Amino acid sequence: MMSKIYGEAMCYHSKIPFTIIRPHNIYGPRMGHAHVIPELFTKIQHSKKKILKVYSPYHKRTFCYIDDAINMIINLSKSKLSKNKTFNVGVDTNEIKIIDLAKLILFILKKKLTILPMKITQGSPYRRCPSMKKYKMIVGKIKFTSLKIGLRNTLEWYLKNNNKSKII
């Protein structure tokens, strides 16, 4: 966190043109393993007890598919109005509880597991939803990939690349 704060402060004091991007819950193929979506995929795929433990089940998040995030960053890079400003890149609608995300992933994977709500993960904020007001004022609205379609695309990639990835 501190490195981000210092990095942004350096940009503002550098007298060099910049645009700062703050990504929020970007997901998609090749996203690695240490995030809620690939963790749920992995737990579901490797469950032997027909139980899915879901931590911080009632915390809410919004998720932004990687293609949408890339388009947003390109739009910002093309806009002269983004010079020397900071922008969130993410989705500010369709918040979903982690437990409901788990149910959606189970549906997509066509798996039937019993969800066991677990304790809150220490340090996990109850809600993560970026403000997109500044982005919309400069660039306008963007059509987002639905979570269901984005999750399907992500899952398909991990299934196809199963030998190259530890996730599934």
Say what the pLDDT of residue 80 is. 95
What pLDDT was estimated at residue 166? 47
pLDDT of 167 reads: 42
Q: Which of 159, 101, 88, 163 is nearest to 129 (CA)?
A: 88
Strand runs (DSSP E) across the chain, as ranges? 19-23, 26-27, 51-54, 60-61, 64-65, 85-89, 96-97, 114-117, 127-128
| pLDDT at 37 (0 to 100) | 93
**Does residue 19 contact residue 82 with C-beta atoms inside 8 Å?**
yes
Residues of the chain with pLDDT under 50: 163, 165-168
CATH code for 2-160?
3.40.50.720
Q: Where are the domains of the chain?
A: 2-160
* pLDDT value of residue 165: 45
pTM of the model: 0.89
Write down the pLDDT at residue 162: 63
